Amino acid sequence: MFTKKTVKEVDLSGKRVLMRADYNVPAENGVISDDYRLKQNLPTIQYILEQPNTKLIILSHLGRPKSADDKQFSLAPVAKRLSELLQREVRFAPDCIGTQVKKMADELPAGGILLLENVRFHPEEEKNDENFAKAIVESTSGEIFVQDGFGVVHRAHATTDAIAKILMGVAGLLLEKEVDIITNAMENPARPLTVVVGGAKISDKIDFLNNLLDKADCIAVAGAMANTFLLAEGFKVGASLAEPEAVDTAKEILERAREAEKTRDFNFFVPVDAVVSASKEGDQPTRIVDLSSHSLADIQAYPKKPEPPSYEVAETEMILDIGPMSASTIAGAVKMSSTVIWNGTAGIAEVKGIAGASDPFAHATHIIVDAMIGASNNHQNKPYTLVGGGDTDSYVDSQGLRDDFNHVSTGGGASLELMSGKVLPGVNVLWDK
């Protein structure tokens, strides 16, 4: 259960409410291509404005601007899109501190909304500068702080930490929902619980994996991070993206996993086959390398013995997806599960095929996704599916599948840290119930 006060547990009547949102959305030439995070924040906005005579002032960031002159990171397009979604005016301030912001905040009518310019135009934001937080509060005359930017609460910044030490800080409805859903999936899941974890680096997910080893019934590693596990098991990975410096860590995780497999009903899957190519651009032929059992290689070579190239990755080749045997094994585990947590695609799923060919390194991801939500999955037995944000969310969006999952998180780093059992500074600082 969520332990912090929420926006519904305080009196907002007649208050000037300062809310932190996460509007870090993809935008190009002033056009927002994905407004999912904006839409997820709408219930909090609507609730605040339903309270008598409230005024709402919103803080957010966009991207990683080097200076305030980086106008490609202006939140002006967000104000425009937010106005369209809410079907009411959202005023936009050219800064987040200063006399002009004060004037616009003072002129805001009851029921009005003011979005301030990108807080990261000020380097003090990421330094968690107390004086910068004070300047925002003084410029806006904010009376209560609402944190609804789940995607930023794993950072201790001025608008996630310092500001909540100046004003009373409570959670918005999106923040409460995200923390509740993720915590429940980790601590009280319908079982079996299967976790599919991909991504590039094992070093980014050590705590995540170690925490899940005690909680999950099945963990399947995929993506480039699986290459480090293959190195740890003595396989050659050629020119693949891997972390040789993390091999000892991978070995430790594997040892823990193998011990768990002996003592309880638990499985830890490492790929047994892989899709390789000399190029990750999708412009070179692909082939399947039968890494572990050699059964594919045996069948193809019969009656001769398979040649080493059939089960070894060449020095010039890269593993760019897990193979069909691995994907089918994971898909089978997913279909037998009641809860599935998914963080990271199985291969470089964003590379498009050439001349009408299928996406060359997305086959495994397609197979696993179909097991989670697809037509081949008996509707009555579909698992509860939780997507852990970040690059996985981008893939789900590109395929038009967001509505097919039970929950797609708005925060990649925050969801990962929460699932790793870490304290989120932007949540911890809020007032307790």
Residue numbers annotated as active site? 37, 201, 390, 413
Chain centroid, CA 342 distance in Å: 10
Q: Virtual CA dihedral for 26, 31, 34, 36, nearest 10 degrees?
A: 100
Pair of tokens at residue 67: 């200076």
Q: Which string of DSSP letters, residue by residue, matches 138-179?
A: HHHT--EEEE--GGGTTS--TTTTGGGGTS-EEE-HHHHHHH
**List of residues 6+ apart from 226 with CB closer than 8 A:** 198, 270, 271, 319, 322
> Cis before residue 192, ω within 30 degrees of 0?
yes
Helix axes of 412-419 and 173-187: crossing angle, nearest 10 degrees: 40
Pair of tokens at residue 303: 């009656």
